[in-house]
Structure 1
């Protein structure tokens, strides 16, 4: 068996064709990610509805990661720490349900009012009402719930009582649920 030797070409056209051939083969490696991005662009657009969707999903993902880490760390901790870990873990269920609602809602909003920028045009604004603000507030509350869960995790690590940040996380998740329910009502009314 012979081995292939790579020899630099002195012809710039050949070098360019070789580089382009390699690059075109490499782009096939990224096609699933590109396909997913194009699918998300089609479902949610690239504007305000996509921003609200992605922002909410990132906040829920961060909360979930914190809940998993807290659950791992409370195995041999005090009863209060274990209770906090269980309560934070239980909060992932309503956030997961809210995430599904946000996905459906933003998909519907984009199909009804496709907005490609981050500024909602006046005509769309009068038709959709306060939906953009309510979605933004829900994403903010989900992020605050994640911060409160992280503070509960820090309290557990510091061997302090995690009750206050756990209660805050519970309150923020309740706010998320209420805001998403309000968005659903507003969407049905519009």
Structure 2
């Protein structure tokens, strides 16, 4: 793996340099000729600190897995678990696929955006929440629902009303305020 110290990414593959032990453990789980199997876990590592996967990180993951940037970008674009742009501390991802839309997700999303004073794809003025419309979160029978990403966790909230969701938002805002007051956020 020392070859990653010099490669397409310049003198050092920053992802490898930062997470060398984790990456070595990760690759030990796959056959030598199946490095591409590590694309998703490597994308999670790349996204860990900034909340999104940068262009540079795509190239670094491609280098580590001996694939192309296009291969990595296609995985990145397919899964709603990965972000290609910076956003709020928390991402509220509302499923708007047809079955969820039939259960009211589009109206719910519109109300959520109104309450947070943003449009879909935008981040609240306090920088805490980015609201996104996504496809299929595998809970059609429990719509409206959303996936919440933030603080290194992914949580699902099903059978939502705007009131229930705003309770979650208020709790997270209070958590952020408490952390800021304590000097941790």
- TM-score tier, shorter chain, comes to 0.3 to 0.5
TM norm structure 1: 0.32
TM norm structure 2: 0.32
Kindly name which structure, 1 or 2, has the bigger radius of gyration based on alpha carbons: 1
Determine which structure has greater relative contact order: mean sequence separation of CA pairs < 8 Å that are 6+ residues apart, divided by chain length. Answer: 1
More strand by share: 2
More helix by share: 1
